[in-house]
Amino acid sequence: MAAAVADRGRVVDRTFARNGAPTPPRLAWFVDGLARAMRDRGYTEVGEPGPTVQVVLHALDADEPRPYRRKNAPTFVVALGYVPEPPTDLLRTGYPLLVRGLANLAVLVSDGPDGPVASFVTLEQGTYRVDHATDDEFFTAVLERVEPLATSRLVIANEFLPDLPESLRSGDDQTAQITRAGERLGALDLLPAAFPIEEILSERDLRHVKLLYGIGGLSYGNVSARRLPPTEAVWGPEFWMSASGVDKANLREIGRDILLVRGYEPARDSIILSIPPEVKPNRVSVDAIEHWMIYREHPDVHAILHVHAWIEGTTATEINYPCGTVELATSVADLVRQAPDPTRAVVGQKNHGLTITGHSLDEIFARIDGHIVRAVPME
């Protein structure tokens, strides 16, 4: 019987499986050690990966990586590969393996001058490493990096209601602010994309990535603005937000580039959206759950900006949770609450970027002007 734990009212099976053949001896050693650490932590190893397994350790051939095509988005896939030496450009080396493996996290195992090294790459461009001391300490440290991500809860489902009032179908003052904010992000060169995934993946795998991650593409950064005058639907506060996978520097069309978020439905882990009836919508940004939590708690927050950039001295979350998870949203909301003024907070997401609250998007840009830098600290 698989071990199970309670997670916010759900029962989660703590199960994992291995997939692929770890042919380099060092990679086989690493997979065995990580599997042993997971069993010691209370996970049950199952023989074959399936749609209900929680974590899959997917061994990759770094020269010809094969994807793991799961049938259940909540299954967390860790792509494991071997490179002889620790990469000098970890993101450039590891990100293609992460995407080609259709994984949530990539770990590259190398032989460093002082022993084995595990180098991590996340879908959100986070990079960090764990160095070997003893086997037990090494695999414990690796699992401590993997487990919070692997057990996090994604909120990527979108439910579209074709009921947007006709008076809002051309936007309002808040959507105009969002358009201006996107243009300013583009002018500041703060809309990075890690790699052109269309050049990395086949058309079939690209469709699979978009389905699993609930995205229209890997574009980074997002903006939102509370609907004014404030409204409170059955699902919580309403706000406008940029769509996923669209050109953030050209946010114009309601329902495709900018969407009205009606709220969050926890019973189905879904974001509820109101769209014009004739529009085929894009998905909203995966960070919608985070923005919803902040707007719900702080009625005087009227705008939120998220960028992959940094401001010196920013307090950051402790764990590099994946975007779109309840855990990341909760940890960011906690830091906003602790800020001297939650309505004008600047908080960091570890190895990732910034979430900034404000009274308006225009006010946020005026506040951060001259303080923001592109390089996000990685650790």
Mean pLDDT by 10 residues, the chain (379 residues): 41 82 94 97 92 92 84 84 94 85 93 96 86 97 93 89 96 97 86 57 66 52 92 85 90 97 92 96 94 97 95 94 91 98 97 94 95 85
- For the chain, what is the total number of helices (H) and then of strands (E)? 9, 19
Fold of 4-150: Rossmann fold (3.40.50)
* 171 Rama sector, left if φ>0, alpha if ψ -120 to 50, beta otherwise: left
Neighbours of 188 (CB within 10 A): 15
**pLDDT in the model for residue 331:** 97
**pLDDT in the model for residue 220:** 65
What is the distance of C-alpha 128 from the center of its chain?
A: 16
**pLDDT in the model for residue 192:** 56
Fold of 157-368: L-fuculose-1-phosphate Aldolase (3.40.225)
Residue pair 297/290 in contact by the 8 Å Cβ criterion: no
Write 109-112 long-range contacts (CB < 8 A, 24+).
Answer: 109/26, 109/27, 109/30, 109/80, 109/81, 109/82, 109/83, 110/82, 110/83, 110/84, 110/85, 110/86, 111/26, 111/84, 111/85, 112/85, 112/86
**pLDDT in the model for residue 339:** 97
Q: List Cα–Cα distances, 47 to 31, 44, 57, in angstroms.
A: 14, 10, 12
Q: What is the pTM of this model?
A: 0.85
Domain boundaries, the chain: 4-150, 157-368
